[in-house]
Structure 1
Amino acid sequence: MPELVIIGGGPAGLSAAIYAVRAGLAAHVLYKDDGALGKTDKIENYFGFPDVISGAELLSRGRAQAERLGAQLHRTEVTGIEYADTGFTVKMTDGERHADAVLIATGSPRAVPDITGIREFEGRGVSYCAVCDAFFYRGKAAAVLGQGEYALEEARVLLAVAESVTLLTNGQDAPAPLPAGLSVDTRRISSIEGGEAVERVIFADGEALALDGVFVALGTAGSTDFARKLGAPLDGTHIKSAADGSTMVPGLFAAGDCTGGLLQVAKAVSDGAAAAMSAIKFLRK
């Protein structure tokens, strides 16, 4: 049975799972938390609900429906996706999972941290993808900005090629355990500076750390992080996809807020259904 892994447990991801299992696919929904919908107090503009419903209740009903039909829901954190001829490997904090196709439905992208120099040096020492850019830091000093599992995964990629790798937590506590060889600096960051490219990070206490590159990996991996790693084009801060949810990467689909447009439950549900149908056609070929 073909395996479809859906990253994101919101309305787009659950809608996709419902259509996928009804078509005979093995659908696995990977999600870390309740996302934006779970924090919504009142919804009164969704078709078929004459009374106000909370986002948490709507989400609970959607999950129950998907599970009743046979979808497998896994509460976990996805840290990366790799693509090969045999399909995809989805990396999680608690293991790995093979997928014949992947559907990204992780919601809106995260904001870039408010640190002077980050946007100015994007592509010139500031990166968001270690798998994409680690090669350019062979024998150089690199840093990862973040403190979660996603940041540690990026650091592991860099440790294999860079001369030194420092985890910059920007005032947050350092995670544990740490990969061997990874240094940590918990001081708050004031700015990222350099000439043609990144040369240093300036901390709030005025001290500097010489660096050749900074990889941003705050919080958990999001839609654009996954897309970058797999070579899927972006439209600003969203995944560029066709109307049916397909992307330029064979077997990779996207749905919901991560594709932009109207950020509403109704659109997310529609996107999830369309992307699932597209994935079904792809896997049946």
Structure 2
Amino acid sequence: MTLSSAMHDVLIVGAGPAGLTAAIYLSRFHLSVAVIDAGDSRAALIPRTRNHPGYPGGVRGTELLQRMRLQASEFGVQIHSGVVERLERDGEAFVGSLVDGQVRARSVLLATGVVNNRPRMRDDLHHEALERGLIRYCPICDGYEVTDRRVGVIGTQTHGYKEAVFLRMYSRDVTLVAPNAGHALGIGERRHLGELGVVLVDGPCDPLELAEASILVSTPSGLLTFDTIYPALGSVIRSELAISLGAEATEDGCLVIDPHQRTTVAGLYAAGDVAKGLDQISHAMGEAAVAATAIRNDLATRRDLAR
């Protein structure tokens, strides 16, 4: 796809489950849509999701995205590979700037997602660990798969505490390992973890290593062996394009939206993990459907959309 100087109805930034769902809806509303994809959707990292409806046996993240791209293409959607480095207003329109050009649109949907903070380990080992299920990032998605296994959570403070408590429903063998030095937990949190039988281990963690059927965590108290590690190290919210336009965000960077996925900037919408929500594929798709419908209706109040 070559970027066009023509005015589009909608610019979608991001081609993960939210962005592609919105593209399908919007193109079927007979709106002109430009989709810009940086090529790093978190969904592509999922070896196999087993809680996405309609896929008995599960589906790889890459396959799901490929199927959604194919479906979008049936309605004329084209996807441009690139990164929107800057988003600006030009009157009532928006201008997205890329290395190889600009794209203009009457409205923008941000479906840029988040980036997980990774534990210390080599990139190739991290990729292998994901493929083998030795590292997992979403207990809601795949906690079922670690039922009665040896589970390690790398994290501390409230985030690490909550993840360890959540995973305890699946396994009696849960260990919370501090990523750096000692744990930063409240007295009540320590007491509750103790009541649940969650083991606390101080860090720092050396770079993680893989064994034949397990993942290894080296700590000052010794080498720990787990069937699966869940990093609870937070994430980076990709909301900077909206914030640069003055959009309101939460303390952690998630965009504040109304019930129709509108941000606090007129004409700017958000769906998926970049907005405050459940961080689930199905939820992101639902938000995208809501956003696409709101975009269509809002555009209709600005101009005649009758064919």
Q: Same fold (TM over 0.5)?
A: yes
- C-alpha contact (below 8 Å) 1:4/1:28 kept by paired residues: yes
Residue in structure 2 matched with residue 53 of structure 1 by the alignment: 59
- C-alpha contact (below 8 Å) 1:30/1:76 kept by paired residues: yes
Please list, as runs of the form range in 1=range in 2, the aligned pairs for 1:98-113 lying within 5 A after superposition. 98-108=104-114
**Which of 93, 98, 109 does residue 99 from structure 2 map onto?**
93
Deviations 1:98-131 (A, max 9, x none): 01000000012676xxxxxxxxxxxxxxxxxxxx
- C-alpha contact (below 8 Å) 2:263/2:270 kept by paired residues: yes
Structure 1 residue 27 and structure 2 residue 42: aligned? no
Structure 1 letter corresponding to 2:242: A
Deviations 1:238-281 (A, max 9, x none): 01111211111111000000002211110011011111111111
- Partners of 2:271 and 2:64 lie apart in 1 by 18
Which protein has the larger Cα radius of gyration, Structure 1 or Structure 2?
A: 2
**Match of 2:243, SS?**
helix
How many residue pairs match? The answer is: 178
Structure 2 letter corresponding to 1:239: L
Residue in structure 2 matched with residue 231 of structure 1 by the alignment: 246
Cα RMSD, aligned residues only: 2.1
- Partners of 2:243 and 2:27 lie apart in 1 by 28
Q: Measure how far apart 1:51 and its partner are.
A: 2.2
Structure 2 letter corresponding to 1:63: R
Structure 1 residue 245 and structure 2 residue 261: aligned? yes
Residue in structure 2 matched with residue 62 of structure 1 by the alignment: 68
- Partners of 2:8 and 2:79 lie apart in 1 by 17
Please list, as runs of the form range in 1=range in 2, the aligned pairs for 1:3-14 lying within 5 A after superposition. 3-14=9-20
Structure 1 letter corresponding to 2:79: L
- C-alpha contact (below 8 Å) 1:104/1:223 kept by paired residues: no
Structure 2 letter corresponding to 1:50: P
Deviations 1:193-248 (A, max 9, x none): xxxxxxxxxxxxxxxxxxxxxxxxxxxx9632111111100013101111211111
**Match of 1:102, SS?**
strand
Structure 2 letter corresponding to 1:243: P
Structure 2 letter corresponding to 1:16: A
Structure 2: any 5+ residue segments left out of the alignment?
Answer: 1-6, 118-235, 302-307
- C-alpha contact (below 8 Å) 1:223/1:239 kept by paired residues: no
Structure 1: any 5+ residue segments left out of the alignment?
Answer: 112-220
- C-alpha contact (below 8 Å) 1:6/1:27 kept by paired residues: yes
- C-alpha contact (below 8 Å) 2:237/2:254 kept by paired residues: no
- Partners of 1:234 and 1:3 lie apart in 2 by 25
Task: Using the aligned pairs only, state the percent identity.
Answer: 35
Q: Measure how far apart 1:28 and its partner are.
A: 1.2
Segments ≥4 residues shifted beyond 6 Å: none
**Match of 2:273, SS?**
helix
**Which of 42, 50, 55 does residue 44 from structure 1 map onto?**
50
Residue in structure 1 matched with residue 283 of structure 2 by the alignment: 267
Structure 2 letter corresponding to 1:45: N
- Partners of 2:294 and 2:21 lie apart in 1 by 13
- C-alpha contact (below 8 Å) 1:109/1:237 kept by paired residues: no
